[in-house]
Amino acid sequence: MPDRDASFAQFSDIVTSAEELERICGQPMPQIIAKELTALDQMCRDFIAKSTFCLIASANPDGHLDISPRGDPEGFVQVISDNLIAIPDRPGNKRVDTFHNVLQDPRVSVIFFVPGKMETLRLRGTARICADPELLNGMAVQNHPPKLALLIHIDTAFAHCPKCVIRANLWQPDNWPDASGLPNMNAMMVKHARIDKTPEEWFESLKGTDELDLY
């Protein structure tokens, strides 16, 4: 594995202190600090109710971070109270990195997206893994309840400004880059996992298993 310090050493002026960071970036307006909530208000609830996609950040015991995507029809994240939400876990690759991390370090962060909406909503809190049947049955899609849900007790919540989404043209299809030449997941799996099959053969081998199930 390449040496991290050597990788960074090729660049000058590495920022190493909060004072230097603030000198370069400046100080936030007091209102930017004041917007941070300790519980969900109705605007946050409404945003989550319309969200179809979110990203969950967690850390393993070694301090390495993971970011895991979650997506479903609008309303898939249940707001149980002003300080508690539940995110269903749909069929995936069974790595369940987020769950393994939460078992060791329950601190998580979430960012919610609403298609077409420039602003995002960020949460920080403490998580638990839940297998409560009543909760899971209430999160069923196409009559398939999730096997688990991630409960998050919210410590902070705040809206994030839309500048990054605007700059990325995230919801402007006419300005999207041409991604037709990028490999799909099957091609990446065959190469990265050193699978002795073509991407097409690998995909065929997954049919009939639960690896392709959405729900």
Is the dihedral angle over the CA atoms 128, 80, 56, 126 positive or is it negative? negative
Question: Tens-of-pLDDT digits for all 215 residues of the chain?
Answer: 678 888 998 899 999 999 999 999 999 889 988 899 999 999 999 999 999 999 999 999 888 999 999 999 999 999 999 999 999 999 999 999 999 999 999 999 999 999 999 999 999 999 999 999 999 999 999 999 999 999 999 999 999 999 999 999 999 999 999 999 999 999 999 999 999 999 999 999 999 899 999 99
Q: Which residues pair with 59 in a beta bridge?
A: 65
CATH of 31-168, one of 2.30.42.10, 2.30.110.10, 2.40.30.10, 2.60.40.10: 2.30.110.10
Which amino acid, residue 76? F
**For the purposes of burial, counting CB atoms within 10 Å of the CB of 73, is it exposed (0-12), middle (13-18) or buried (19 or more)?**
exposed
User: Domain spans of the chain?
Assistant: 31-168, 177-212
Residue among 57, 48, 70 nearest 114 (CA):
48
Helix, strand, or coil (residue 39)? coil
